[in-house]
Structure 1
Amino acid sequence: MKALDRSVAIALAGLALAAPGFALADARVLVGHFAPFSNDLAATAVDVRINGATALTNVRYGSFTAYIPLAPGAYRLEVLPAGTSTVAISANVTLADNTDYTVLATGGASGQPLALQALVDDNRAPAAGNLKLRVIHAAPFGPNAASTAVSIRTDRGAVVGGLASVPFFAASGYLEIPAGNYDLKVASPDGSRNLIDLAPVDLPAGAVLSVLATGDGVNQRLGFTALPLGALPTETPVDASVSGHWFTPEFSGQGFAFTPKPNENRLLGSWYTYDAQGNKTWYTLDSAGANSGAAATANGGFNSRSAVLTILSSTGGRFLANNPVQTAPVGRVVLNFENCTTAVAEIRLDGQPVRNVPLSNLTPSGACSL
């Protein structure tokens, strides 16, 4: 169980065992509250009635139960503001023998109506070394299907499981994937704008998970919840806020230009400087380059606030000529943004001492807001 008072669970289990029509049987139901209808968590509290009997009390947004055993048959589910007799939403469900269900309270924000959504679960074990993953879009951040459509992608922008345009409230089938470390995100259908970025997480073999995109971005923040694990850690979604020309106040006529690629969680750049003899030179920078580390190469290497960029030197070119150019890594820059106008670069150029250089953004983008 996650984020639900243990006494509530015990009470519900007792009700399931004792009340008429609630006898222990093979049907099981997991109930979750993911309707972000208030920015005050206490104000999201609801009670749940099953066939007129109170089964759960004071359940807040983000809470969910363990599986509750119920006898097969027809049930009336009702959700009420906590401590009241006013039914806010209701649904009739018929439970089949030897079947698991997830019932979610959703909507209530951005013009999306409150609703109870019932899903049939498949808890059969995956093959050895694998896990099963179902993706559910429960984040009502727009008033209609088109405005809520999202894609599910890796940090480098690849669409996962064909989930390229998923509207609210839609659920994928179960995807069977190898256990391991995953770094996923929710983006616009074309991948150009990141909405929710999952921090890298280890998903264990044998697990059967429903991963929900949650929140509306106004009342409750956008995030991920994995049933039955709980809320998953997220990172600041990569956007274009740090793009611009950054100068180095300590050194005249030198600086950097940075351009994020949100669809790849990647940061590209150029460094304008001088060599030891005073000759003008420049380098290209890439957070997914060879000197950025194996993890950075896999996930794009940028989380909107820090990056390790490979310094790349190009030789062989000629002015306005199509000469072959050779590019090779010659060091790295460890970059930390305090915000979209102030940063520090730790420069590690091969054969040179390490230098820490403050940077200031001369041309903040329209996405920059302090």
Structure 2
Amino acid sequence: MFLTRRLFLGGLTLSLINLTSYPYKSLANSQLSTKPVQEFYTASIVSSLLDPLLNPYKCPTKLRVINAAVATASPVDVIVNGKRVLQNVDFRQASKYVDVTPGNIEVLFVRSGTSGTIAHRNFTGAPNSAYTVAVTGTLQGPSGQPLFNQSPFVIPEDLTQPNPGKFKGRWYRFSETSAVIDFRISKSSSPNVDETRITDLTPKTAIPYPELTVGTYNFNPVLPDQFDPLINNAFNPPITVEVANQQVPEGVIFDVIATGNGLGQAPNSLLLTTASTQTAPPDANGCYQIVQ
């Protein structure tokens, strides 16, 4: 199939060149030759006809990963359609976005520096779309969730710019507890007042929070109707589970990600990490732009 396509494109190119060619003759009075114009004209026709065939998608698919694999708890490399596109994504971290070709996308998570597969996922990526692929523990997500309800999860993302003076983001519950937990955001200057609260969060889901005015905020999971952050007692000294005094600038997509640890099903068996994506206006083709 690939060879047939190359032969067809090659024949089409030669035909176009012959079609637009004509005898070249130097002029005795040293007038400029029309040959450069002819060659430019031919190249323009060939390019305009072949570009849609060779480059059917003007906009790539954007992809990032979250490493929440508690079973290995180690860095991973990510191979997409046979190419290693990300390396050393630490446990409990999100990678940057990378561009991949739209269509069938095969994602392999391997231990960093090896070919030992930890997990894999196949899905169809649309052009000018973005996805997060998250490898986690064995706790499943809700039935009917878009794309998949078990690890690795595939989350379609929204990379449109926030409104002027605002930021937005999501809460990713990729920890390994099924306990009932709320997610609240408060201004650092008034920590006991909810700016927004998402209640009864379902495990292994990603929920957007409303756009907020730029400023300094606290982000933390809490027990229902509570204000005090959870305390993770798996560490010495214990760790307060929150992102405190976080200044979030304009135009940013600020995501808060909960990952699991060895405490298993306890409500406080999680830690938080964040991912900040600075967006930019779409390019001339309407493709989403990211300022890494």
Shorter-normalised TM range: 0.5 to 0.7
CA 1:36 to 1:157, structure 2 compared with 1: closer, same or farther past 3 Å?
farther
Give the corresponding residue for 2:103.
Answer: 73
Whole-Å separation in 2 of the counterparts to 1:170 and 1:136: 6
Give the corresponding residue for 1:194.
Answer: 229
State whether residues 64 and 131 of structure 2, in contact with CA within 8 Å, keep that contact through their aligned partners in structure 1: yes
Whole-Å separation in 2 of the counterparts to 1:216 and 1:44: 12
CA 1:168 to 1:158, structure 2 compared with 1: closer, same or farther past 3 Å?
farther
Give the corresponding residue for 1:226.
Answer: 274
In structure 1, give the amino acid aligned to 2:134: L
Give the corresponding residue for 2:181.
Answer: 149
Give the corresponding residue for 1:203.
Answer: 248
State whether residues 65 and 134 of structure 2, in contact with CA within 8 Å, keep that contact through their aligned partners in structure 1: yes
CA 1:30 to 1:57, structure 2 compared with 1: closer, same or farther past 3 Å?
closer
Shift of 1:177: 0.7
Does residue 125 of the first structure (1) align with residue 164 of the second (2)?
Answer: no
Whole-Å separation in 2 of the counterparts to 1:217 and 1:204: 34
Give the corresponding residue for 1:50.
Answer: 80
Does residue 34 of the first structure (1) align with residue 68 of the second (2)?
Answer: yes
Whole-Å separation in 1 of the counterparts to 2:218 and 2:155: 26
Shift of 1:224: 2.5
Whole-Å separation in 2 of the counterparts to 1:70 and 1:52: 12
Shift of 1:151: 3.5
Write the deviation string for residues 249-298 of structure 1: whole angstroms up to 9, x where unpaired.
xxxxxxxxxxxxxxxxxxxxxxxxxxxxxxxxxxxxxxxxxxxxxxxxxx
Q: Give matches, 1:150-299, under 5 Å.
A: 150-154=182-186, 156-159=191-194, 161-191=196-226, 194-195=229-230, 196-216=241-261, 218=263, 222-228=270-276
Whole-Å separation in 1 of the counterparts to 2:185 and 2:252: 20
Shift of 1:216: 2.5
Whole-Å separation in 1 of the counterparts to 2:63 and 2:161: 18
Shift of 1:157: 4.7
**More RCO (CA 8 Å, sep 6+):** 2
Whole-Å separation in 2 of the counterparts to 1:87 and 1:205: 39
Whole-Å separation in 1 of the counterparts to 2:194 and 2:119: 35
Give the corresponding residue for 1:92.
Answer: 122
Whole-Å separation in 1 of the counterparts to 2:108 and 2:123: 11
Shift of 1:52: 3.8
RMSD, aligned α-carbons? 3.3
Whole-Å separation in 1 of the counterparts to 2:253 and 2:229: 26
CA 1:103 to 1:56, structure 2 compared with 1: closer, same or farther past 3 Å?
same
CA 1:71 to 1:24, structure 2 compared with 1: closer, same or farther past 3 Å?
farther
Shift of 1:174: 4.4
Whole-Å separation in 2 of the counterparts to 1:227 and 1:179: 16
In structure 2, give the amino acid aligned to 1:102: T
TM-score (norm 2): 0.57
Shift of 1:72: 1.0
SS in 1 for 2:66: strand
CA 1:161 to 1:192, structure 2 compared with 1: closer, same or farther past 3 Å?
closer
Whole-Å separation in 1 of the counterparts to 2:193 and 2:153: 29
SS in 2 for 1:66: coil
SS in 1 for 2:92: coil
Shift of 1:66: 1.9
User: Gapped runs of 5+ residues in structure 1?
Assistant: 1-19, 230-370
State whether residues 180 and 224 of structure 2, in contact with CA within 8 Å, keep that contact through their aligned partners in structure 1: no
Whole-Å separation in 1 of the counterparts to 2:204 and 2:105: 22
